[in-house]
Chain A
Amino acid sequence: MSKKLHVTIVDDDSSRAIILEKALKDAGYEVIAVLRSSDNLLMHIEQRQPDVIIVDLESPNRDSLESMRIVTQHNPKPIVMFTNDADNSMISEAINAGVSAYVVDGFNESRIQPIMNVAIARFREFQALRSELEKTKTSLEERKIIEKAKGIVMAQRQCNEDEAYQILRSLSMDNNKRIIEIAEQIVSITEALKQ
């Protein structure tokens, strides 16, 4: 990799954190901070922008990290959660399903590289899926507006659906605008006239 990935560790068990830090460094990562649960994780993320966050599943910061995933203004980051508690490995399926976090059962130094790779790959997949979903949502919204505009044209011109669409299309070409923009104009003008 051209630039070393920046990693932040959150762990209250300092001896475990030291081992983790060394293993990450050996694997070619740059550990930019080792924080405790009580440190201000959100501020750290904003200021230092780590590429990956590694956190103990039993850290209260889980709730903050979860909110970051939802609030888009805070850049989402791949999160690796680890646990040494056998009970907790049962919930890893639930968390892995959320995909922005990746849970590992214990931290074996020799497995660091593959764990990090999988976590980052899964995160990127998730981000791609999310932007795809956003796109689908917009095109659905757009389709609704175009349908509405078509309905208005059909009523105005007493024409059928195909003809209405053709009219929208030629308006779009004549004005050098996208069909959705034309449709939005028609809908908003019609609604303004109704009032």
Chain B
Amino acid sequence: MSNENILEKTALNIGFIPLTDCATLAIAKEKGFFEKYGLDVYLSREASWANIRDKLAYGVLDCAQMLATMPITSTLGIGGWKKDTVSSMVLGVNGNAITVSNNLYSELKDRDEGFDKVRPVTADALKAVIDKRKAQGKKPLTFAHVFPASTHNYFLRYWLASSGINPDTDLDLIVIPPPQMVKNLEADMVDGFCVGEPWNQFAVNSGIGHALITSYEIWNNAPEKVLGVNKEWAYNHPNTHKAVVKALIDAARWIDKPENRLETAEIVSRDEYINVPTDIIRGPLTGEYKYDPESKPVNFPDFNVFYKYTATFPWHSHAAWYMSQMIRWQDIPDSLDTRNIINDIFWVDFYREIVSEMGLDFPLANCKSEGTHRGSWSIDTKNGSLEMSSDLFFDDEIFTF
């Protein structure tokens, strides 16, 4: 075909939420990767995930940064308008944490002085505090996350439930927009939260909270944000869609070079992106994480990963785990054909086609076993193998799909 590579559309409106992991989009724009592929992209900062979902569904946005769970919930019509949504690329893995207020932290310490000595920290001490408060007739603790069917919601629930805490009855779970988390923690309106950066580090560095566990520790290298596109748009704009993914893969590769991390932090901290001082963003992006206000940051090279370890590949086993949690907490019925739904939503073959055109390698499998790899390993690819990293759950669970 003669028009094989012609872009169906060049001026694009792409939505994002001001969080550290909007970096892939910000860098693609600022470092000229969108331009390289003939795209003129306007990055539209959105106020809420609900707006992202609805604006993408209605074509106000061409593409959007979405929570890794959102293409599934949009497609199934959970919590909003039912609209077939697809994703051909992950925008970043890891990057969230669970932080508690100073008051709750001292209660946890009172129960068990050494509860956070060994990481990953379990919710056992929290369970003891909850039981004690119940016996004393005190009101339940309140924890916040960022959106009803969010990755944060499922990480938080997974962590709580593994210590026998029932997230639906033992505490109040509420939704608060990320930029308001720290203020609510400081005012003791919430006792803890699960949110993306920079908000955990902001709480810790301001001396008003303690990070207990990162999402990396709960499940190593799990997808956090993805590129979401509505299916109809994807069918009508295959070349444009490819160009967007190519630009974003270039950006992800650029960000994952250690020497570019500081500049990435500087760029995403700007007014038009997150609008906070670079100092707050820098730590996790440059491989340092601070759990407690009074302690030194620890070395945490993979707190945010954008490209390494096939981070951009939309693994079906990742999506399946999220769906298993949606079923577990009754956000979706257990009668759905998970395999078909995931096949329709996460376009692995399209990803392979795109990266082949870029001369890059890709995994041959759509799924891997989750929770079975510790440290570095390699996976079979078209050209040989690619380096992978851990995919352990903090409680040693194994998930296969």
Contacts and interface: CB of A to CB of B under 8 A. Distances in A.
A90 B219 CA distance: 38
A67 B80 CA distance: 11
Interface stretch (A58-66, A124-132, A149-157, A186-194): A58-66
B55 A63 contact: no
B97 interface: no
Interface in A61-103: 61-64, 66-68, 70-71, 73-74, 87-88, 90-91, 93-95, 97-98
Contact of B79 (A43, A57, A70, A90): A70
B174 A42 contact: yes
B360 interface: no
Query: Of residues A59, A66, A67, which shows the largest number of chain B Cβ atoms within 10 Å of its Cβ?
Result: A67
A57 B177 CA distance: 14
A85 B69 CA distance: 28
A40 interface: yes
B179 interface: yes
Contact of B81 (A60, A62, A97): A97
Interface in B162-215: 172-177, 179-180, 183-184, 187, 189
A39 to B, nearest CB: 9
B177 A60 contact: yes
Given A63-B50, A64-B174, A67-B147, A38 B183 contact: yes
A64 B187 contact: no
B192 to A, nearest CB: 15
Contacts, number: 82
A93 B58 contact: yes
B345 interface: no
**Dominant SS at the A interface?**
helix
A59 B59 CA distance: 20
A62 B58 CA distance: 17
B81 A59 contact: no
Given A59-B48, A62-B47, A67 B58 contact: no
Nearest to A58: B47
A60 B60 contact: no
B48 A63 contact: yes
A177 to B, nearest CB: 29
A67 B48 contact: no
Contacts of A90: 58-60
Interface string B88-120: 000000000000000000000000000000000
B49 interface: yes
A94 B174 contact: no
B148 A40 contact: no
B54 interface: yes
Interface in B48-66: 48-51, 54-55, 57-60
A97 B189 CA distance: 32
A91 B48 contact: no
Interface size class of B (residues with CB under 8 A): 20 to 34
Chain A CB count within 10 A is highest, among B60, B175, B179, for: B175
Contact of B173 (A58, A62, A71): A71
Given A90-B59, A94-B57, A98-B80, A64 B175 contact: yes
A155 to B, nearest CB: 27
Contacts of A58: 47, 51
B362 to A, nearest CB: 34
Contacts of B81: 94, 97-98
B226 interface: no
B58 A94 contact: yes
A50 B57 CA distance: 31
A5 B147 CA distance: 29
B231 to A, nearest CB: 16
B139 to A, nearest CB: 12
Contacts of B25: none
Interface string B63-82: 00000000000000001110
B278 to A, nearest CB: 22
A126 to B, nearest CB: 14
A94 B177 contact: no
B174 A66 contact: no
A58 B180 CA distance: 15
Contacts of B311: none
A58 B55 CA distance: 12
Contacts of A59: 47-48
Given A58-B47, A62-B50, 15 more contacts: A37-B177, A40-B184, A40-B187, A42-B174, A43-B189, A63-B49, A63-B175, A64-B174, A66-B147, A67-B175, A70-B79, A90-B58, A91-B54, A94-B81, A95-B54
